[in-house]
Each structure stands twice: as C-alpha cells, then as structure tokens.
Amino acid sequence: MRSSELDVTPYAALAFAIFAASTSAILVRWSTAPSSVAALYRVVFTTALVAPVALSRHRDEFSRLARRDIGFAVIAGIALAVHFAAWFESLNHTSVAASVTLVQTQPLFVALGAGLVLGERVSRETVVGLAIAIIGAAAMSFGDAGEAPLSDATMYGNALAVLGAVTVAGYVLAGRSIRQRVSLFPYVTVVYTACAVTLFALVGVQGHDFVAYPAREWLLFLGMAIGPGVFGHTVVNWVLEYIESVVVSVAWLGEPVGATVLALALLTEVPDLITVVGGLVVLAGIYVTTIERERRREPTPG
C-alpha cells in the first residue's frame, strides 16, 4: 500500500505525541504540588513556548479569526482545564494504570460527537477497532483494581478520571473542527491561554499558593510543558488537521500502555498479567482502526 508523505508524517507524529503524553502521569506522580497548581504551570509554560511562534509567524491571522472560532477555541481551553484538573487529582487517589486507562475511555465520547457534531462517518471496522481498544483498556483497569478492594478514595479517583475523559473528548472534537480553518499555533495559543486562565481561577478558589514551591517542582512543571504539552498535545493538534478525530482518539489509548511501562520502570508499579494482556489488546485495537482508515483512503483501482 502506497502512502503519500502527508499520510505517513501525521501517523509518525501521532505515535511520537502519544509517547510524549505517556510521561505526564509519571511527572504528576513525582510532583508534590497540588494537582491544580501542577496543571496550571504545565499549561502556562506550554503557552510561553508556543505563543512566541504564533506571534512571530501568524500575527496577522489573529486579527482574521472568526468570533465563532475564537469562542469554540476558548470552550476547548476550558474543557482542557477541567480535564487536567480532574485527571491530575485522580492520580492522587488511584493508580497510574487505572487513572490513565479510565481517562482514555474518551474515544466513546469522541465517536458519538464526531457523528452528531462533525458529520464524520464512523465505519463498522472503525467501531470494531474502537471496541477492541476499549476492551483492552477496561482489562488494564480491572487488572490494576484487582490487586486490592476498591475504596471510596479509589472510586473517587476513578470518577475524576472519567470526567477527564468526557472533557478531553470535547477538546479533541473542537480541535478537529477548528483546525480545518485555523493554523496550529494561533489555535493552540488561544486554547492554552483560556485553559491557563481557567486553572488560575481554580487555584485561587482552592486557596493554594501560586509560587512557594522548590526548584524541583518548577523543573517538573517545565518537564510537563515540554514533554506532554508541546510534544504531546500540540503535536496532536497538528495531526487533527489530517486525521479523523475518532482515529486520533483511539490512538490516544496507547497512552496507558506507555504510562504503565514507565510506571514499572520509574515507580516500580508492577502490572499484573491482565494489565499486560489488556495493553496488547489496546495496541491491536489501534492497529485495526488505523489500517481501516488507510484502506478507506486508498483509491479504488480503475
């Protein structure tokens, strides 16, 4: 099967972005700052890295942005803020594997929204791939939870992770729609700014200190911005111009696999056999979904 450069490059970028995003849970676990503070500075530093590029290369485009696109970009930023706040907090109450897996149930919500809002046709084969990946993700979560009875705190953490899934689905759908018309850096600058303002208000309401953190924490905040922020979310927003939202959201299910491997290496959280098998099933689901998209894109002979 032949693929043009444009076909190959977005998939390579998406794989790289998923790997970069997999480091997020580890960095959050290492941080001792309040979860909303960690989320705030991740986004603030990410904005500081992308905004100069947007202003230097796309200054004129900001003045041409339609109010509708600005409005939906702001909504996407608020959704991203809720996602970060809910997911980061969930990591304080449940394991990395469970938290990352549950937050990646978002393809279910993306698939629904893609059909209703974006008019993207979800093929039968794509649904099969999505179902396979979700089953694998569920197995990873159940395997992790099976190590001990579910406490109220764990259930709370799991519920926060699901909230993070719903809100990140809205973020992905908005990105898929707006990125067809707006360049990458102006779009992410608006989104990240709205996200940072929302998180700033949340930190203020919660009464957390804004600056009294040791140098180690600031390095972790910067790491969250560079890895999961710039090389993760920003690259995914670039990919959304070329790949359907459902395919991108299913690919995101690779994040719990990467995060679980990193948790084993860096946090000594040892996954059980069910978690390992579930991770392989997730990868199989991603493969089925991706191959189906390429098959549909391939021109019919004659």
- pLDDT 10s digits, 107-155: 777 777 776 666 666 667 767 777 777 777 667 666 555 444 556 667 7
Tokens (6 digits) for 107: 């393809």
Please report the pLDDT score of residue 297 as a whole number. 54
Helical packing angle, 96-103 and 124-145, nearest 10°: 160
C-alpha distance from residue 89 to each of 51, 107, 161 (Å): 27, 21, 8
Whether the Cβ atoms of residue 77 and residue 198 lie closer than 8 Å to each other: yes
Using DSSP, state whether 180 is helix, strand or coil: coil
Q: Is residue 15 part of a domain?
A: yes
CA distance 282 to 270: 18
Q: How many domains does the structure of the chain reveal? A: 1
Segment 95-109 mean pLDDT: 73
Ranges 1-5, 64-68, 139-143, 150-154, most confident: 64-68
Please report the pLDDT score of residue 148 as a whole number. 46
Among candidate residues 302, 296, 294, 299, the one with its CA nearest the CA of residue 7: 294
Instruction: Give the residue with greater pLDDT, 204 vs 123.
Output: 204
Mean pLDDT score of the chain, rounded to an integer? 80
| 247 CA to centre of own chain | 13
Please report the pLDDT score of residue 9 as a whole number. 80
Segment 161-176 mean pLDDT: 86
CA distance 19 to 222: 17
Please report the pLDDT score of residue 222 as a whole number. 96
DSSP label at 117? I
Q: pLDDT category, 202, cuts 50, 70, 90?
A: very high
Q: pLDDT category, 194, cuts 50, 70, 90?
A: very high
Q: Which stretches of the chain are DSSP H helices?
A: 5-22, 24-30, 35-57, 59-64, 67-90, 96-103, 106-113, 124-145, 152-178, 184-206, 215-224, 235-239, 245-251, 254-267, 273-297
Assess whether pLDDT exceeds 90 at residue 157: no
Ranges 63-72, 78-87, 194-203, 241-250, most confident: 194-203
Q: How far apart are the first and last CA of the chain?
A: 16
Q: Is residue 95 part of a domain?
A: yes
CA distance 188 to 56: 14
Q: Is residue 26 part of a domain?
A: yes
Assess whether pLDDT exceeds 50 at residue 182: yes
Assess whether pLDDT exceeds 80 at residue 94: no
DSSP label at 1? -
Please report the pLDDT score of residue 152 as a whole number. 65
Q: Is residue 144 part of a domain?
A: yes
Tokens (6 digits) for 50: 């992308």
Instruction: Give the residue with greater pLDDT, 30 vs 280.
Output: 30
Q: Is residue 41 part of a domain?
A: yes
Segment 201-221 mean pLDDT: 94
Whether the Cβ atoms of residue 194 and residue 138 lie closer than 8 Å to each other: no
Per-residue burial over 25-40, b = 16 or more CB atoms within 10 Å of its CB, e = otherwise: bbbbbbbebbbbbbbb
Residue 231 domain boundaries: 3-297
Please report the pLDDT score of residue 299 as a whole number. 46
How many other CB atoms sit within 10 Å of the CB of residue 123?
A: 14
Whether the Cβ atoms of residue 102 and residue 143 lie closer than 8 Å to each other: no
Assess whether pLDDT exceeds 80 at residue 10: yes
CA distance 274 to 278: 6
Tokens (6 digits) for 192: 């990240």
Q: Is residue 302 part of a domain?
A: no
Minimum mean pLDDT among 139-153, 218-232, 252-266, 271-285: which range?
139-153
Please report the pLDDT score of residue 119 as a whole number. 62
Residue with tokens 């696999």: 257
